[in-house]
Structure 1
Amino acid sequence: MGQTCYYPNGKEAASLQPCNATSPIANCCKDSDICLKNGLCFSPGLNSVVRRGCTDQTWNSTSCANVCLTTEFHSIDIVLTPCGEYGSFCCGQDKDARACCDSNSTEQVGTGEPNTSSPPPAASTPSGTNTIPTTTATACPDNGSLHANSNAWKPAPIAVTAVLGSALLAGMVFFWWKNREWETNTRMWQERVRDSDDRRRVGEDDIKALQNEIKTLQARPPSPPME
């Protein structure tokens, strides 16, 4: 008989599977999720990090993701909303989560690299080499926020790649546009300078021609007086 997954309030989470079926205590995710070593899950479908379940019904084990444990979150899967600071998240996706981000009240959790496999299907033989988290996760504060520093949890590679890829593309488009604008302005300035130089050369040539004509007239002998 397989292990049973539970939510933080001790309620059975029937739709979840243990990330490591050979371990006495393990975090639980959905079949399609990527298990993270900090006890959280990355959902490709939601493109988000989610706190789901654990095989420890008391949730006292460090293998469980002890975040987002307040009454409003303790009986459900809860998506984590990324905040402005890298690695900083708040529990939920509503206005309260956004207010949590703005309040900058955060809590640290353990490292979050992905395990080597997703949760095994409910009736299959366990496979892969999922690793039990070794860091201690701290409880989520009342406002439901959590934070990662340089040695703490980092978003799953898929999410990071998507965000960095979008930022890189936006940066490339911006700098391409600015470069085109600079080239256009430079070309217009060069054309104005060239036109100004041409007009100046025409004016100088006219003056020189007039001066030469005056010199020629001055060099001619005076005409004899008319009788």
Structure 2
Amino acid sequence: MVSSRSLLTVFATFIAVAASQKCYAVDGTALDSTYTPCNPSAKHSSCCASTDVCMSNGLCMGTTNESIGMIFSRGCTDSKGKDASCQQICPGVSDDSNGLKPVKAWQLQTCDSGEYCCRGADDTKSCCDNAKAPKVTTTFSATLQLQTPTATNPVAEVVATAVSTGTPFEATTTPTAHACAKEKRETAIVGGTIAGVFSMLIAGLSATVYWMYKREKRQRKLKEHYEEQFSQTNAYRKALASSAGSCRGSVLLDELKLKSSASE
């Protein structure tokens, strides 16, 4: 088991390293304590605002108010920005697209053409139609580095794919564990829906077959009833006709006998 002294030593070392890594803006000016290195244990690291989420490619994703989902290049711990960890997303450009002032941080705006353009982080004007604005044609793919609260835990990574969908720049995050759970839930929902629809179809089909069976049975009984009644009626008529014929014959015979007696 790790002793308390060892934990204090690790914690103190972590604090010392973090304190020694000061963040600098894109133009080299020192940033205040609201900007922190994304990888404090490294010699140099890209920096993001405390409210941002660090990305593995050195960029930052905004998470508050109007900046949510936007991608920024805030700077790094190398004041000259020469270290490989410092993101040079808009290389060779030090002024905003209007040429008015140096840029402390870049914001990547997604254009309808599928390209990205760089504008100052505090610039509210679109840079897509600005010929002076730096254009970036690289397709970004990175992971979101979620900082853990303790120095002993590694940086957690969540896969994210950049999507060109217009302004502001948006990224779709898919945490592995949550994605699996979500996929299972969606699969269960889809499976339940299909099972429900299938059950309804079976129930409807069964009801239709039963109704047709009952109808056919009723019609068959009616047919048998009417046929029986018809046969009985025909038999009665034949018997009546036969009875009437025999009666008529006896009447004629009686008439002949009377006529014979009279002639004598």
Question: So what's the TM-score if we normalise by structure 1?
Answer: 0.54
Cα gap change, 1:41/1:24 in structure 2, threshold over 3 Å: closer, same or farther?
same
Cα gap change, 1:13/1:170 in structure 2, threshold over 3 Å: closer, same or farther?
farther
Which of residues 145, 148, 151 is equivalent to 1:114? 145
Q: What's the secondary structure of 1:5's corresponding residue?
A: coil
State yes or no: 1:11 paired with 2:29: yes
Q: Percent identity?
A: 17
- 2:223 counterpart residue number: 207
| Residue-by-residue CA offset, 1:10-61 (whole Å, 9 max, x unaligned) | 2332121223445432111344655443223456667747433211233333
| Structure with more of its chain in strand, by fraction | 2
Alpha-carbon shift at residue 217 of structure 1 (Å)? 4.0
State yes or no: 1:63 paired with 2:63: no
- 2:44 counterpart residue number: 25
Cα gap change, 1:53/1:162 in structure 2, threshold over 3 Å: closer, same or farther?
farther
1:1-227 to 2 correspondence within 5 Å? 2-14=20-32, 15-31=34-50, 35-41=54-60, 48=69, 50-51=71-72, 52-67=74-89, 71=96, 74-76=103-105, 78=107, 96=126, 106-109=137-140, 111-112=142-143, 114=145, 117=147, 127-128=151-152, 158=175, 176=192, 180=196, 183-184=199-200, 187-219=203-235, 222-223=239-240, 224-225=243-244
Structure 1 unpaired stretches of 5+? 100-104, 121-126, 132-142, 148-153
Q: What's the secondary structure of 1:54's corresponding residue?
A: coil
Q: Which moved more, 1:21-30 or 1:35-44?
A: 35-44
Equivalent-residue separation in structure 1 for 2:47 and 2:149 (angstroms): 8
| Residue-by-residue CA offset, 1:56-93 (whole Å, 9 max, x unaligned) | 23333320233367726942374877x9x9xx988789
Cα gap change, 1:218/1:130 in structure 2, threshold over 3 Å: closer, same or farther?
closer
Equivalent-residue separation in structure 2 for 1:186 and 1:56 (angstroms): 69
Is the 2:106–2:118 contact (alpha carbons within 8 Å) kept by the matching residues of 1? Answer: no
Cα gap change, 1:170/1:21 in structure 2, threshold over 3 Å: closer, same or farther?
closer
| Structure with more of its chain in helix, by fraction | 2
Equivalent-residue separation in structure 2 for 1:167 and 1:60 (angstroms): 43
Is the 1:18–1:29 contact (alpha carbons within 8 Å) kept by the matching residues of 2? Answer: yes
Is the 1:42–1:156 contact (alpha carbons within 8 Å) kept by the matching residues of 2? Answer: no
- 1:150 counterpart residue number: none
Taking only aligned residues, the RMSD between alpha carbons, in angstroms, comes to 5.2
Equivalent-residue separation in structure 2 for 1:98 and 1:179 (angstroms): 49
Equivalent-residue separation in structure 2 for 1:186 and 1:162 (angstroms): 35
Alpha-carbon shift at residue 222 of structure 1 (Å)? 1.2
- Would you say how many aligned residue pairs link Structure 1 and Structure 2? 193
Cα gap change, 1:30/1:164 in structure 2, threshold over 3 Å: closer, same or farther?
farther
Equivalent-residue separation in structure 2 for 1:19 and 1:129 (angstroms): 14
Alpha-carbon shift at residue 205 of structure 1 (Å)? 1.2
Q: Which has the larger radius of gyration?
A: 2
Cα gap change, 1:176/1:168 in structure 2, threshold over 3 Å: closer, same or farther?
same
Amino acid at match of 1:211: E
Cα gap change, 1:146/1:56 in structure 2, threshold over 3 Å: closer, same or farther?
farther
Structure 2 unpaired stretches of 5+? 1-18, 130-135, 156-165, 252-264
Equivalent-residue separation in structure 2 for 1:90 and 1:163 (angstroms): 31
